[in-house]
Homo-oligomer: A and B are copies of this chain.
Amino acid sequence: MPASPIGPELQRLIDLLAKMPGLGPRSAKRAALYLLKKREPVMRPLAFAMADAADKVMPCAECGNWDSIDPCAVCADATREAGVLCVVQDVGDLWALERAGAHKGRYHVLGGLLSPLDGVGPDDLNMGQLIDRARSDVVTEVVLALAATVDGQTTAHYLTEHLTDAGVSVTRLSQGVPVGGELDYLDEGTIAAAMKARRPF
């Protein structure tokens, strides 16, 4: 078998690109060729942006959101309600809630979910600080915006217990039929949950 036609610098770039979510070994090659063709407009700026973000973007000491300022822009925004904290698993979930414009308060990013099977316990997550924030006089409600999965439920139960002790009211996102969703395409669990949580019209 002949030696690989791909040199070491290029091969290393391809191997690292292939680790990114959404890129496999083949699409990493395609991405590497694309970058080399767009060297000045994309490749060099992207290399710089990556190194720059790796240096500057840090978790907010208050809420765990990622930003280059600390406290982050959300915590620093005085127009947001300080009394309502929305608890999310990850920064991506915070972005999703902001995209929906669904929450006018502050956030708390856990950085994961409790998972006994994977050995993730309360000390592995940003939880102690959440309890501390909930104990402050400012916070009156904590909204749990966690995934409707086993780990999400486990985490919600654990937090509800400790947050209720801290003297705040604990709420969670409702479950039900997605907007625009057709019943015929929904799983049984969602339909059962929507029926159980039915409301007067």
Contacts and interface: CB of A to CB of B under 8 A. Distances in A.
10 contacts: A5-B94, A5-B98, A10-B57, A10-B66, A12-B49, A12-B52, A22-B22, A43-B53, A48-B51, A51-B51
B34 A21 contact: yes
A16 interface: yes
Contacts of A9: 49, 52-53, 56-57, 68
Copies held by the complex: 2
Contact of A46 (B3, B16, B29, B44): B16
Contacts of A181: none
Interface in A38-75: 38-39, 42-54, 56-57, 65-69, 72-74
Interface in A1-19: 1-10, 12-13, 16-17, 19
Given A7-B68, A9-B53, A10-B66, 9 more contacts: A2-B101, A7-B67, A10-B53, A10-B68, A19-B46, A22-B22, A33-B91, A36-B53, A48-B51
Given A12-B49, A34-B20, A47-B47, A95 B5 contact: yes
A77 interface: yes
Interface of A: 1-10, 12-13, 16-17, 19-23, 27, 29-36, 38-39, 42-54, 56-57, 65-69, 72-74, 77, 79-80, 90-92, 94-95, 98, 101, 104
Nearest to A3: B73
Q: Is the interface of A mostly helix, strand, loop or mixed?
A: helix
B16 A21 contact: no
Contacts of A51: 44, 47-48, 51
A180 to B, nearest CB: 18
A14 to B, nearest CB: 9
